[in-house]
Structure formats: structure tokens, C-alpha cells
Structure 1
Amino acid sequence: LLWERAVLGVRCADFSVTDFDQRFLSGELCWLRPPSSDPAERQVVSASPIAIVPRDHLGLWCKEEYKTEITNSYAIKIMSLLEQKGAMFTRDIEQASGLLRPHLEEGLRSLVYAGRVTADAFSPLRWVLRPERQKARIEKRRGAAASLPVGRWSLMPQIGADTDRPIAQRQQELTQICFALLRRYGVVFRAVIQRETLLPPWRELLRAFRRLEDRGEVRGGRFVDGFSGEQFALPEAVGLLRAAKGEDHDSMGVVISASDPLNLGGWLTPGPRTPAGLNNRVLLHKGLPVARMLGDQYEALPGMPRELEEQARERLTIVRPWRGRRAR
């Protein structure tokens, strides 16, 4: 998958596909597809957003109100089977449903998009997202039966609305979400989380952050210029921000995949948005996007220093973040 190669394979030291899969099979991790109101994202492709969460914390991120309505007839049939029989292997679903392989894939893909299913392994998700030409090559090499993924599909747990839970439990959940966001972003304010789709309203998070600030567990202040509203950071992040302010940033910067979370152009930083894609990449200079490649098309962005443009073009042409470290 795109972000396995372009994000995890680059950002995680000694990333191993085998070890990654084992963390799902052991029950440590769980995946789900966050919902989206953007019509352009209403499909499941290799660049789709996928949430990976500790299984113990699944209730924080999987709420009934986040799920999307199911209209696909194949998906409805599969969902009914999973409701009756519980977790099932792909082959068992195929046999019990009587669906042809293309219809089975279509139904599972619809359920993944809607946030209705997960699996106890990661390979079923790869199988659903894998392009048809790759599946055809695998089936030719292994046979149709052997090409099916390892792992069982299951429905996402039924978790009630926030109003169904005691206030103390809800506050504890909000605290856990706040710390997850602080670890993810370093500094949290309203604009930072605008792309998040599995969060409670900002007003609830704001009250939780204020409680943490009153207890001395987080710092409130003005850490990032140019944004209104309250901002919060972990105490250790404040020191790191001060240290970074005094560093020399004359280097050319770094090239990242457009799928990387640091691709913030058009969201938090100036310039256009760069869509996720295997061959799309962005050059950051002093933390800001100054040039990008859309496939093989180079484009200088506002803020590109004229004297660095030749170097920028060369770096974006040569450097691809997911190459040089092969996922094992």
C-alpha cells in the first residue's frame, strides 16, 4: 500500500512488513477506514486514509455515529453473514454468500469504506486495495484459492453514542484523545485537526485540554504564529520548539511523499494542496513546502528562494522517499 511504502517504510526505523502484520495477528493493533464527507474520497484505493489504533483503544475512535450508511447489495449480504456467524475468513464468506469473486471484493470494499468492518490481520485490507492487475498476476502464480488473504473479517464493534456513557468515562476518553493528538502533532490547536475525521467536536476537546492545563499536565500558550484560538503542547515540546527556533535552517530541506502527514500545504502552510499519490512528492525548506512533483511534472511553489530552484528541481527529480529502504 502507498503509505506502507511511502510513510511507514521511511519513518519507522527497521520497518518490516512481517513484524507489522504480526502486531495485528497478535491483537495488539486494529485498522479501520475513517469516514469522509468528501465525494472525491468516497472510494477505497491504495491512497485511502486508514486509521491504525491499539485494539484496546478502539472504542475511542470507532463510534456508531461515524459510520456510513450501507446501500451496496453485496455489502448488505456480507454484513448479514458477519452478523449471524461472527468473524469469517474470506473464503468462507465467498462460499456462504455465493457471491462471485468480483462481487465479493466490491461488497467488502464498500464495507471498508463505510467503516463497518475490520480484520484480525492486515492482509485482507491489502487484498481489497490491491489493483486488479496485481491480483491477476498473483492468481496466475499461486492460483485463485491461494491468492486469498490470511485473516478473518469481522464487523466493527457496536459502540454507543457519547451520551450513553457516564460523564467520568467520557472525560477519561477525551483525555486519552488529547494526549494522542499531542503525541501526533506536538502542538494542538483547532486548525491542526481540521483533517481529522474520528474526533469529537473541538469544543469538547478544548474543555479537556483546559482541564489538563489546570492540572499542569499540558502547557497552554501561543506557540505557532498566524493562528487564532488556544494552543496546547506537552511540557517537553515547549523546550524543543525553543531549541528549533535557534537552529540553522540553511540546508535544502527534505523531500517527503505527498502521503506523509507533514504534507500540510493548503491546510496549515501556504500554497496549494498536493494530493496523495505514489509519485507525488513535496520539498520542504525551513518547514514550508517550496516545490513539488506531481508525477513527473515539477512545480515551484510560492516562497521558493530563486537561488535554490535548480537544486530543488534536481532533488525532487532524484529523491523518492520510499526508495533506498526496502520493506522486508
Structure 2
Amino acid sequence: PLAALPAFLADWQGFGTLGSGVDGLREGLGRPWGDPAPAPVWEEEILPARVDGYQPAWLDALFAETELAWAGCGAQRLTFLLPFDRELVVEPSDDPELETALAEVRALFPAGAGRFTLAELAAHSGLASAELTRRLWRLAWLGVVTNDGFAAVRRGIESGFEPATQPPPAHGHGTRRRLRFAQWQGTRPLVGSWLPTLPGPAEDDPLAVEELVRDRVRLLLQRYGVVFRELLARELPALQWGRIARTLRLLELGGEAVGGPFFEGIGGLQLASPAAVRRLERGVVDDRVVAIPALDPASPCGLGLPDLPALPRRVAGNWTVWHGARLVVVVERRGAALTLHVPPDHPTLPAFLGVLKQLLGRAVRPVPAITVETVNGEPAATSPYRPALAALAQTVTDGQGLRLLRRW
């Protein structure tokens, strides 16, 4: 039944089974490989949900020890990949904006291959660091430059991907006020080194083009196990249904994919990898509790399938919590609105609400406090679920809501 789809996707993508540390993160990045998401969401939601106790140092270690890279794929959106996988998700384009961007890259970077600090690029281009920073981020989101680490992205998130500017002189004084340290740091050159990632020419050999599309299909089958039109609507253009459906059928003929009505309620064609078919035959794990961010590739939010339960919008700050195939908690607006589908005395309720502790305690930009305004549409302060919320964190009544504070 379609109700089993969320549990299957979570199980297929390793939720609750990956462990922690660099090895857990390496495995955790395997399924969302090539998936586009807003830059902050990766370390605030997707990776902490997948890898127990996620720490940014683990991601830094992977960048330092492997060829892991990130690629921009739209305004302040990025994905993780290996350099030789880039053509799977970033395809050549004759967009005039891209042509202009490529010319700008050639002007900003010295000729020849290499990695360059912002200071080196400023010396070469003659641009001030602030203007150069703006240009690099704009080019990064177009996918034509990147940085060799993730620390630059973290710093960009803190500053809104804009360099901090010197504040105006204080009123009545001729000297400029001192910058606070964070502001001063924001005006300094970005960490790491930058490198161009210019797309190669469009392939004109039909056999090579077909093999590239086959690799894209294999990437999608590795990520989802089962693919169908609605699931791929949120992918980058090169990975959407209309671009890969014909090749999917060819892989089915070759035995790399299996067609069938794996989930009832999906009107069109469904194809699965043989490994996913075997997983489906074993049945979904019905006693695992998993919390899935709405923007995670494993999330059913936004699919628009009528037989799924009511789900929140596919935006940052929304989560769903599942007990096997059953939806038990919906978190919206970073905890402001909770919908609970179990009674207040349910024995597993503390585990279901553990996502709120995760928001308060995550390693990257933890939420300082969660103000729960409503529970099941009623004021949180008088909700029968208040004792369960109070058991998670320090609780302060805030009007008709409850303010949850992390216990130190």
C-alpha cells in the first residue's frame, strides 16, 4: 500500500541505521548524492537527521581526506558529489546568463588549472575582497565555481552570503566606530581555496549521451530504490522523469530495473532496482521511529499523492515523524505548530517528540528556544501534551504557548 512508501524510503536511505562519526557520515551522504537542497538545510536538518550526533568536523574530514565536493544548483542551493560525477547533475547549457558567467570566471581566475585563495584572486582581478566575495557566491550558485571545503559555506550562511560592511560613523563623531569581531570577520577573505568548475562541451555522440542518461538513472535508483514521475518532479532538470523515462524502460529490458505496481495509489509507471524489490518483499520495518525533514530526499512531503496522510509543506523547518508506516507527529514552523496522532499517554511519545530535542541540541546553529504555539490546533499552554513537552526541556509559559529551552 502507498502508506508504506515513507517507511520504505526511510529504510532504503538508512534512517536509524547509519551510526555516527566520519564513517557514518560517508554512508549517510551516499543516498542523497546529487540531491539539491538549500545550503543551510544540509547541516541543520538533513545530516543531523541521518547521522547520529552529527558534527561539522566530520564533514570537514571528508573534504580533507577524499575528493568530496559541493556544487551550486540554484540560488543558495547546493548538492554534494565527486568531481567526476558532476556531469550527472550539472549539464552543459546555452543559457546566455551561463555564457556571461563563464566569461566572468575566466576573467577572475588565472589561466590554467589550480585552486586560489580569495587574496590571490583579488590580486589577479584587482577587485576588493567584498566585491569579489559577492561575485564568487553568484558564480557558485550557477555551478561554475566552488570552494574546496565547507567552512566557506558555513561562513556564508552566517552572513547571508554577503560580506559585512563597515558601519557608518557614529552620530556626532568624525571617526568610524569599531566593528564588532563578527562583523570584522565577515569582511575578511573567505576560508579555503576557490576553483572553477567549467562544464565541458555538450556530448554529440548519441551512444555517449545514452550512457550518461543511464548513469543518471542508476543514481536515482540508488537514491530511491523505486522511482515514479511524482518523486522525480523535485529533482534537477537532468534527473526529472521526462528526461530519463525512455532510458528507464531500456534498463528494465536489460534487467537493471523492474517494473510493477509496487505502491498502490500511484497512477503511472513505477520502476525499482532489483535490490529494492528484494527489500520490498521482506516488508518494511514497522517498529522504527524516524524523524524526516520535509526537504530531505526521503521525505514524502510535496509528492501530492492523495492516499498519503496530511503532510506539511516541503519547506525548511517542517518535519514528519514516523513509527514504521504510521505518521505519528508533524512539526511545522520549527516547532511552532505540532500535530500529534497518538494520545498523551502513549508509551513511545517521548521518542516521537525527540525531534524537538534534536532541534535544540544540534551541533550547527541550534535553535536557542522553541515556542510551541499550538498542539493539535489548541493552545500549547493548556494542552494535555504539556507534561510530555515539559519532560523534554525546560518549559516556560509564553502566553498561550510553551517555550522550550535546552537543558544544559
The 1:293/1:144 distance shift into structure 2, 3 A limit, reads closer
The 8 Å contact of residues 7 and 322 in structure 1, kept in 2 or not, is answered as no
Percent identity over the alignment is: 24
Q: CA deviation at 1:185?
A: 0.9
CA distance in 2, matches of 1:84, 1:118: 16
Is 1:81 aligned with 2:117?
A: no
Which structure 2 residues correspond to residues 82-231 of structure 1 after superposition, within 5 A? 82=109, 84=111, 87-131=115-159, 140=181, 144=185, 148-161=189-202, 164-200=203-239, 202-231=241-270
1:21 to 60, 63, 75: 60
Q: Does 1:255 align with 2:291?
A: yes
Gaps of 5+ in 2: 1-39, 165-178, 365-408
Instruction: Please say which of residues 172-181 and 284-293 is displaced more in the overlay.
Output: 284-293
Alpha-carbon separation, structure 2, partners of 1:226 and 1:106: 47
Alignment root-mean-square deviation, CA: 4.0
| SS at 1:284 equivalent | strand
Distance between the aligned counterparts of 1:139 and 1:97, measured in 2? 29
Give the whole-Å Cα distance in 2 for the aligned partners of 1:25 and 1:157. Answer: 22
- Any idea what the Cα deviations from partners look like across 1:110-130, whole Å, max 9, x if unmatched? 112222211222223333333
Structure 2: how far apart are the matches of 1:291 and 1:322? 14
CA shift for structure 1 position 290: 5.2
- The 2-side partners of 1:114 and 1:264 are apart by 28
What is the CA–CA distance in structure 2 between the aligned matches of 1:275 and 1:218, rounded to whole Å?
28
| CA shift for structure 1 position 2 | 3.4
Identify the residue that residue 267 of structure 1 maps to in structure 2: 303
Could you say which residue in structure 2 is the equivalent of 1:319? 356
C-alpha offsets along residues 156-187 of structure 1, whole Å, 9 cap, x if unaligned?
A: 222233xx332222222222211211111111
Per the alignment, residue 321 of structure 2 pairs with 283
Q: Between 19-28 and 184-193, report the one with greater CA deviation.
A: 19-28
- Provide TM-score, normalisation by structure 2: 0.61
Q: Distance in 1 between matches of 2:237 and 2:295?
A: 18
Counterpart Cα distance in 2 of 1:68 and 1:241: 46
Amino acid at match of 1:261: P
Amino acid at match of 2:222: R
Q: Which secondary structure state, in structure 1, belongs to the residue aligned with residue 194 of structure 2?
A: strand
- CA distance in 1 between counterparts of 2:273 and 2:351 reads 38
How many residues align? The count is 305
Stretch deviating more after TM superposition (169-178 or 97-106):
97-106
TM-score, structure 1 normalization: 0.74
1:134/1:108 CA distance change after superposition, 3 Å: closer
Is the CA contact (8 Å cut-off) linking 2:232 and 2:240 kept in structure 1? no
Residue-by-residue CA offset, 1:208-255 (whole Å, 9 max, x unaligned): 22222222222111112211222111222123223335x546x8x433
CA–CA distance in structure 2, aligned partners of residues 76 and 115 of structure 1: 14
Alignment-derived partner of residue 388 in structure 2: none
Question: Residues 243 and 275 of structure 1: is their aligned pair in 2 closer, same or farther, counting only changes over 3 Å?
Answer: same
CA apart distance, 1:143: 6.7
The answer as to whether partners of 1:257 and 1:281 remain within 8 angstroms in 2 is yes
Q: Is the 8 A contact 1:123 1:150 kept in 2?
A: yes
Who is 1:39 aligned against? none
Q: Name the amino acid aligned to 2:274.
A: P
Deviation readout 1:105-161 (Å, 9 max, x if unpaired):
32222112222211222223333333369987x982797599644432222222233
Deviation, structure 1 residue 299? 4.2
Q: C-alpha deviations, 1:259-282, integer Å up to 9, x for none? A: 4333322325454543543x5433
Match of 1:199, SS state, is: helix
Report if aligned partners of 2:228, 2:241 keep a CA contact under 8 Å in 1: no
> Do residues 51 (structure 1) and 47 (structure 2) align?
no
Work out the CA distance in 2 between the residues paired with 1:309 and 1:171. Answer: 56
